[in-house]
Chains A and B, each alone.
Chain A
Amino acid sequence: MTRILVLFAALLALIGWSAASDAQEPLRVDVTQGNLDPMPIAVPDFVGASNEALRRGADITRVVANDLASSGLFTPVDQDAFIEDIANIDLRPRFSDWRVINADALLVGSVTIQEDGRLVVGFRLWDTRLEEQLLGLQYRTAPENWRRVAHRLADAVYERLTGETGYFNTRIVYVSEGRGIEGEPIRQLALMDQDGANPSFLTDRSYMALLPNYSPSAQEITYVSFLDGQATTYLYNLETGRQEALFASGGAGAASQVDPDGQSLSARFSPDGSELAVSIETRSGHDIHLFDLQTRNLQRLTQHPADDVEPSFAPDGERIVFSSARGGGSQLYVMNRDGSDVQRITFGSGRYTTPVWSPRGDLIAFTKQVGGQFLLGVVRADGSGIERILYEGYFVDTPAWSPNGRVLLFTRGEARSNGTRYEIWSVDLAGFNLRRLATGGMASDPAWSPLIE
C-alpha cells in the first residue's frame, strides 16, 4: 500500500514538474547597445490671445526649437507635418496625432501679455509614447527678456529629457578677429548669447585682447590684454565695465619674484570665484601661481625650471591641471591646490596643451599637436583609460566647456589662400554634432559663461 502511495506521489510530482517546466519563465534579454539618434520633439507655435502675444509666441518657439536642435540631442519635427492644431495648452493633446508624425515629445506653450506689459510664458511638456505630462512651468518677466525666457524654457525641457542641466541660457565671450586698414590683425573681446543673439564688443580696436575666461558668477572675466604693449592679465567687470591689471611686479612675497617685463597668461577662476590660478613669468621661467582676489596675495605653486603654464581648477577646487615641458615635450600634469603631489596624466606622443577641467570633474579637455595636425581630445582626470579624440584638423586651440560638461567650444583654423581663417566650433563629448558658432565674422578664444540665473 505504501508503495502505491509512493507511486501516486511520484506521479503527482511528475505532473508538477511538467507543469512547472511549462510555466514559462519570462524571456530574458540584455540590451547594451542603443541608438544615439536625436529625439524628435514637436514644438507648435506657442498660442496667445492677441496678435502681439502670438507673434511673441512664434519668436519664443523659434528660439527654443533652435536651442534644442543645436544640442544635437533633439530634432524638432517639421511644423508642416502637424495634425492636431493646439489651441489650448490646458487640454490633453491627442497623442496618436503626434505619435503618427513620430514626435516622441510634444512641447506646447502659451504667451500672455499682462495689462502691465509683463510677459507670462507657460508650457507643458508631454511624452507622447507614455502619454504623460513630464513638466509644466510658467515664467513671468519683463517683455524685453523674452529671449532669456525662451532659453530658460529650453534648458528646462533639456534637463527634463536628458537628466543633465542645460546650457542654453548662457553667454559666450570670445575674440572677434579682424584686419585693420593696413592689414594689421585686430582682436577685440566680444560678448553674445550662446545662440549668437545680442552681440556686442567689450574692448575697442586700439589694442589686442586674448584668452578670456569666465568667473563662476558670470559677472567678471579675466583676459590677456596688450594695452601696455605686453601680455598682462586683466580683470574685467561685465556689469560695470571696470578693468584692472593684475599681478604687477614688485611687492612682497611671490610678487617680488615676478619678472617686471614678464608675461602673465590665462588666469582662470577657482570654482568659488575667490582665487585665480595663473601662469606668471618669473625670473626662472613660467610658473603656476594662485592669486587671492580678496587679499591680493600671490602664492607660487610650482618652481620647476621648465615652463608650467595654463592652469585650470577641478570643479571641487582641490586639484589643478596644467601643462608643462618638465618631462621633455609639453604634457599635462595634475597637482593639489597647494602645489603638492604633481602627477603626469598624459603619456602620448605629441605636444599636449590647453588643458581645461570639465565642470563634471571626470574629464580634462586638451589640444594636442602631432605631426602637422592638431587634435582636440579628452582624457580622464586621473590619467586612466584612453584618450578620446573629438576633432582633428589644421589648427585647434582654446577648448572651453559648456557649463554642463557635455559640449566643447574650440578655435578652429582652416588654411585659406589669404591666410588662416579662424572660427569657433562646437563638438559634443562623443565627437558628434560639429557646428560653427554663430559669430559675426572670424572668431577665436571662446569662454563659456555658467548658467545665468
Chain B
Amino acid sequence: MRGLVLSLFVHVGIIAGGFIYLPRMSHVLESAPIVPVELVTLADTTNIRAARPDPEPVEDEVPEETIDDVIAEPVDAPAPEPDPVEAEPEIIDTEPETPAEPDPEPVDEDPEPEPEPVEADPAPPPERRRDPEPAEPSLDDILGDLSRSIAENRDPQTADDGARRNAVGNGEEMTATLQVMLRSHLARCWRASLDAPEPDELAVQLVLDLDRNGELTGPPRLTDQSRVLNSPNPYLRVAGERALRAAVQCQPYPLPPEAYSQWRQIEVNFSPSLYGG
C-alpha cells in the first residue's frame, strides 16, 4: 500500500515536474521570436536599407535616427551654436553643433525582455522550507523510503533521472572548456584599454544572449549600462563601448551546439590586466 502511494506520488511528481519543465523548454525556443521585438528598432532600418539599392527615400527621417543620446555624449551635447563667427582673426572658431537633433528615442538597453521569466515559477523551494514543521518522520526516513520505492518500481522515469544526473556531470567539465574557448575567441575581438591611465578600474561586465548558431539574439547589455556609458571617466565609457563592439564583432560564437543550454546566456567580465601581457 505504501509502495503504491509512493509510486503514485512519484508519478504525480514527475508529471508535475513536466508541467513546470516542459513549458520552460518551449519557452526557450520561443525566446528567439521574443527578442526581435528588440531588434525591430534596429532591423527596421538596417534590413530595409540593406534590401534597397539606394537610401534616398528615407532621407528626411534619418537625422532623427542619429542617436547621439545613446552615448549621452557630454561633449557635443551643447547643440545650440553660439556663433562667434566674426572677430576671430587667426584661430578657428568651431562651434560644436550637433547636426542631428537630440532625439527623444529611448535608449534601448534595459527593455530587453528576459527570456526566462519562468524561472520564477518553480515555487517548490518555499514548500520545502515549510515542510520540517510536522517533523515526525526524519528526512532520512523519507528519502530512504523514497529511494527504496524508486528501486522497487524501476520505471523509465528513474532511468531518465540518472541520465540527467550524468548530463550535469558532463556539464561541469564542459563549462571549463567553454570558458577557455570563449576567452580566446573574445580576446581576438576585444581591444583592451591597457593604455589608459588606470586600466584596472575599467572592468565592465556584459551579458550576451545567443542562439544555437552562436549569433546574438539581441543587443549585448552592459551590466550597469548607464553608469558605464555616462561615466565622467571617458576611458570607462570607451571601455564599455569596446566591450559591446567586441561582443557584436565576435559573432558567430563557435561553441558546441550540444552544450547550447550552457552557453545560451553568457556573462563576460572584461577586465584589462596591466601586467598580463
Contact = CB atoms under 8 A, between A and B. Distances in A.
B55 A8 contact: no
A145 B90 CA distance: 8
A55 interface: no
B245 A8 contact: no
A131 interface: yes
A446 B237 CA distance: 33
Contacts of B154: none
A136 interface: yes
Contact of A34 (B97, B191, B241): B191
B99 A33 contact: no
A30 to B, nearest CB: 5
Given A36-B194, A130-B244, A139-B94, A27 B99 contact: no
Interface in A128-146: 129-142, 145
B66 A92 contact: yes
Interface residues of A, number: 79
B270 A31 contact: yes
A164 B62 CA distance: 30
B191 A11 contact: no
A141 B127 CA distance: 74
A16 B123 contact: yes
Contact of A32 (B85, B136, B276): B276
Interface string B38-64: 000010011001100001001100110
Contacts of B12: 11
Contacts of B10: 11
Contacts of B196: 163-164
A429 interface: yes
Given A2-B136, A132-B70, A137-B96, A90 B268 contact: no
B249 A133 contact: no
Given A10-B139, A136-B66, A163-B237, A31 B271 contact: yes
Given A27-B179, A33-B276, A8 B9 contact: yes
Contact of A12 (B13, B76, B239, B271): B13
Contacts of B95: 138-140
Contact of A94 (B5, B50, B236, B273): B50
B46 A27 contact: no
| A29, A127, A133, A161 pick with most chain B CB within 10 angstroms | A29
B195 interface: yes
A326 to B, nearest CB: 31
Given A19-B17, A138-B99, A362-B197, A32 B273 contact: yes
B214 to A, nearest CB: 13
B192 A18 contact: no
A415 interface: no
Given A23-B122, A26-B207, A27-B266, A15 B187 contact: no
B97 to A, nearest CB: 5
A6 B269 CA distance: 43
B68 A136 contact: yes
A87 to B, nearest CB: 9
Contact of B94 (A17, A22, A104, A152): A152
B45 A35 contact: no
Nearest to B277: A33
A429 to B, nearest CB: 6
A406 B241 CA distance: 21
Contact of A141 (B94, B122, B168): B94
Interface in A381-417: 406
B145 to A, nearest CB: 8
A7 interface: yes
B179 A29 contact: yes
Interface string A93-134: 011100000001000000000000010001010010111111
A48 to B, nearest CB: 16
Nearest to A127: B245
B34 interface: no
B136 A27 contact: no
A82 to B, nearest CB: 15
B58 A12 contact: no
B226 interface: no
Nearest to B125: A16
B92 A133 contact: no
Given A27-B263, A32-B272, A104-B245, A16 B99 contact: no
A132 B107 CA distance: 11
A13 interface: yes
| A28, A88, A130 pick with most chain B CB within 10 angstroms | A130
Contact of A92 (B6, B65, B81, B264): B65
14 contacts: A3-B137, A6-B134, A9-B130, A13-B125, A20-B119, A33-B187, A36-B191, A88-B59, A133-B67, A137-B98, A138-B81, A141-B93, A362-B197, A430-B195
Interface of A: 2-24, 26-37, 39, 88, 90-92, 94-96, 104, 118, 122, 124, 127, 129-142, 145, 148-149, 152, 159-164, 360, 362, 406, 428-430, 453
Top 10 nearest A-B pairs (CB, nearest first) are: A16-B124, A34-B192, A13-B128, A163-B238, A34-B190, A163-B234, A9-B131, A26-B265, A32-B273, A163-B235
Given A2-B134, A430-B195, 7 more contacts: A29-B179, A29-B266, A32-B192, A35-B191, A124-B100, A148-B92, A163-B236
